[in-house]
Amino acid sequence: MNDKYFKSMKKIKSLAEGHGYCFVSSKVSVEENEIKYCYREKPTDATDSGWRFMAGDEDKEYCSNGENFQIYDVNTVCNFDRSIIDIIDTPYPVDFIKKGSKFVIDDEEDDE
């Protein structure tokens, strides 16, 4: 793993193996902000989990720049934030926001 990303992680443990890859915002993987928003969409291929993890304050312009996201194994992201393990098997499509230390389904409709 590149030292630029997820600097706080020293050793990756097997917490959620076999889920495939996901996309992670640089606000999480580089700046190490807490994951406060995530969603799961239909996977693009057999190894895509469909999960997308973000800090929650990324705007449309930020998200449209692919350089602001990295691809990780879901297990790696679970090592950064273990609360993801509780939701990782939720079928798509689904959106979650973090309330306190737990993720809850985000029922708010996007106005944009």
Tens of pLDDT, residues 92-105: 999 999 999 999 99
The answer to the question of residue 14 being in a domain is no
Structural domains of the chain, count: 1
Nearest CA among 18, 49, 23, 47 for reference residue 37: 23
Q: Mean of the per-residue pLDDT values for the chain? A: 92
Query: Could you tell me if residue 3 is inside a domain?
Result: no
Inside any domain, residue 92: yes
Q: How far apart are CA 38 and CA 92, in angstroms?
A: 11
Q: What is the pLDDT of residues 12-43, one digit of tens each?
A: 999 999 999 999 999 999 999 999 999 999 99
Enumerate residues 6+ apart whose C-beta is below 8 A from 26. 67, 68, 69, 70
For residue 52, pLDDT over 80 is answered with yes
Residue 32 counted as domain residue: yes
What's the domain range around 80?
21-105
pLDDT in tens, 67-84: 999 999 999 999 999 999
Four-point Cα dihedral 58, 59, 63, 64, nearest 10: -160
